Structure 1
Amino acid sequence: MSVRMSEVAVGDQLPALSVPLTRADLVRYAGASGDFNPIHWNGRFATEVGLPDVIAHGMLTMAVAGRLVSEWTGDPGAILHYGVRFTRPVVVPDDGTGAMVELTGKVAKKNDDGTVKINITARSADQGVLGGASATVRLPE
């Protein structure tokens, strides 16, 4: 999808996105990122350190949330700024299904400099997993 500045209004909702994360996804991400912390693949270790089970990498959660915006703009290069706070981990059970990350976004502001601020909500297991998630994007006229 490619959206134009003239088509956007404050309050507009971005198309919702659901992203499944499985243990296999965590292994692939660990290989790509070099983050082999056992809390991301070893259930026994994760529970020994006080987690409910294996959790997704925070940066993986951030990346899938960023997809919401890049798919909406049709151009990942349109994202000028993107930030989040990690508020709760995404627990990924070893059940063949894994976890679902549910993403929504809303146009919060049209700036005078031709950019748009998007507020992002990320939830998993009916709980927010990112706080203060937002992106600033430049859209074509």
Structure 2
Amino acid sequence: MTRPDTSGPLPAPRTYGEVAVGDVLPDLPIPVTRTLIVATALASRDYQDVHHDPELARERGSKDIFMNILTSNGLVDRYVTGWAGPAAVVKAIRIRLGAPNHPGDTMVLTGTVTAKHDENRHVDIAVKGTNGLGAHVTGTVTVRLPGEAR
């Protein structure tokens, strides 16, 4: 397996003053692989059989194993911090799950800046992750960005 090149410079931090309500984050497609589902469930100590045993997942009414909420939460965090830059501080993540993420699908994360709070340089971002079945995750992420309020 090849690893991405991380030897280059980190992206410049996004500052509070350069962000506007209505800004749209770039889409982030995430291939949902069996390995991603199983490895991240184990890494988050979620040993529920529906995240690693296809037969038992089917017995419980699912078409296959499916991603756990901790992985979805982590991917949402990664999406927003990848856009915001290394100086951003995540203050809150509020998400709800919908359609399951099954192996072989792709979840596409999208986001839009919905509010700015000058008193603390917090930015609210509405996020959504959709797959072939519909909305997998929806919610809001609040981050504090460096820089001055305009």
> TM-score by structure 1 length?
0.87
How far did 1:126 drift? 4.9
The 3-state SS of whatever aligns with 2:62 is: coil
Q: Greater helix percent: which structure?
A: 1
Picking from 123, 135, 140, the partner of 1:116 is 123
Task: State the alpha-carbon separation in 1 of the partners of residues 35 and 54 from structure 2.
Answer: 14
Is contact 2:30-2:108 (8 Å) kept? yes
Identity of matched residues, %: 31
Q: Give how far 1:76 is off.
A: 7.0
- Corresponding position of 1:11: 22
- Runs of at least 5 residues in structure 1 that lack an aligned partner in the other structure: 93-97
Residue 101 of structure 1 aligns with an amino acid whose one-letter code is M
Preserved contact between residue 44 and residue 70 of structure 2 (Cα < 8 Å): no
- Select the residue among 45, 50, 61 that pairs with 1:34: 45
Match of 1:57 in 2: 68
Q: Which runs of 5+ in 2 are unaligned?
A: 1-10
Alignment partners' CA distance in 2, 1:129 and 1:30: 17
Would the aligned equivalents of 2:100 and 2:136 in 1 still touch at CA under 8 Å? Answer: yes
Runs ≥4 residues deviating over 2 A: none
| Deviation string, structure 1 residues 64-103 (Cα, Å, up to 9, x no partner) | 12211010111275111111011221122xxxxx221100
Give 1:85's aligned residue. 96
- Whether the 8 Å contact between 1:122 and 1:129 is mirrored in structure 2 is yes
How far apart, in 2, do the equivalents of 1:52 and 1:126 lie?
12
Q: Where does 1:97-108 land on structure 2 (aligned, <5 Å)?
A: 98-108=104-114
Q: Deviations over 1:15-50 (max 9, x none)?
A: 211112211122221331221211112211111111
Report the Cα distance in structure 2 between the residues aligned to 1:62 and 1:46, rounded to whole angstroms: 21
- Provide the TM-score with structure 2 as the length reference: 0.82
Alignment pair present for 1:137 and 2:143 = yes
Distance in structure 1 (CA, Å) of the matches to 2:109 and 2:87:
17
1:23 has 2:29 as partner = no
Contact 2:108 2:131 in 1 (8 A): yes
Secondary structure of 1:129's aligned partner: strand
Displacement of 1:115 in angstroms is 1.1
